[in-house]
Structures are given as structure tokens and as C-alpha cells.
């Protein structure tokens, strides 16, 4: 249960980074909601990796490079699920605000990423 709570905290940090970067890019750049979200996801993944590695899960015993590769693999897959759902929502519901679509997509990908990180990335060798 402790891991799940810490994972939720990491997710909250990632969500705040994601939402903050997305909002900033939408306000300050001409990137638009699709490209801006890709940039925001990259920043959020970096923030959650640092938190999850330090506080959520026990270290796997793998090298930093191997663990980073595994984390990136799960993270990119979760990000694709997240981004795909985000894009589908915006395209199918044009009146939906980008931040609302981000919330829905982020919750859906959170379940996938918890199991991926706990079973594939940080599981002891």
C-alpha cells in the first residue's frame, strides 16, 4: 500500500509538471495542443522517474542504464496510451478543453504504468 501511495504522489508531481508545462506552452508558444503535450510529457516523465527511483520503489539491482532503459520503455508505452487517448478525446470532442482531456488520459495511463514500473522496472533481479 505504501508503494501505491508514493506512486500516486509521483503521479501527482508528474501531473503538475505535465499540466504546468502544457499550460505554459499553450500560452507562450505557437506549438498548439498536440506538440505542446509531447514536450510536457517528456518533462513529466523525467520528474516521475526521479521520484519513483528515489522514494517509491526499491532499487532493482540493475545498472542505472538498464533500469533507465526499462523505465523509458514503460514510460514511452504509457505516454503513447496517454497521448493516444488525449488526441482521440480532442478529435472526437472538439469542445473539450485540452487540460480536461489530459486529466482523463492521465488517469487511464496511470494504472498501466504502475504495473509496468513495479513488475518490469523496479522488480529485483
Which pLDDT belongs to residue 53? Answer: 85
Comparing CA positions, the residue from 36, 15, 23 lying closest to residue 106 is: 15
Burial class of residue 123 (count of CB atoms within 10 Å of its CB; 0-12, 13-18, 19+): middle
Q: Tens digit of pLDDT per residue, the chain (125 long)? A: 788 899 999 989 998 999 999 999 999 999 999 999 889 988 988 898 889 888 998 777 788 888 888 988 998 899 899 889 999 999 999 999 999 998 899 888 888 898 899 888 887 76
**What was the pLDDT predicted at 68?**
80
Four-residue CA torsion sign, 99, 101, 104, 106: negative
pLDDT of amino acid 125: 67
Q: What is the pLDDT of residue 29?
A: 96
| Widest CA span in the chain | 47
Amino acid at each position: 500500500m505504501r508503494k501505491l501511495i508514493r506512486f500516486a504522489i509521483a503521479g501527482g508531481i508528474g501531473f503538475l509538471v505535465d499540466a504546468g508545462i502544457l499550460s505554459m506552452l499553450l500560452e507562450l508558444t505557437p506549438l498548439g495542443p498536440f506538440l505542446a503535450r509531447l514536450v510536457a510529457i517528456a518533462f513529466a516523465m523525467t520528474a516521475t522517474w526521479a521520484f519513483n527511483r528515489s522514494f517509491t520503489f526499491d532499487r532493482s539491482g540493475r545498472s542505472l542504464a538498464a533500469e533507465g532503459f526499462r523505465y523509458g520503455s514503460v514510460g514511452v508505452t504509457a505516454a503513447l496510451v496517454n497521448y493516444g487517448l488525449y488526441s482521440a478525446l480532442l478529435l472526437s470532442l472538439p469542445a473539450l478543453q485540452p487540460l480536461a482531456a489530459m486529466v482523463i488520459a492521465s488517469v487511464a495511463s496511470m494504472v498501466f504504468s504502475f504495473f509496468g514500473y513495479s513488475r518490469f522496472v523496479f522488480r529485483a533481479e
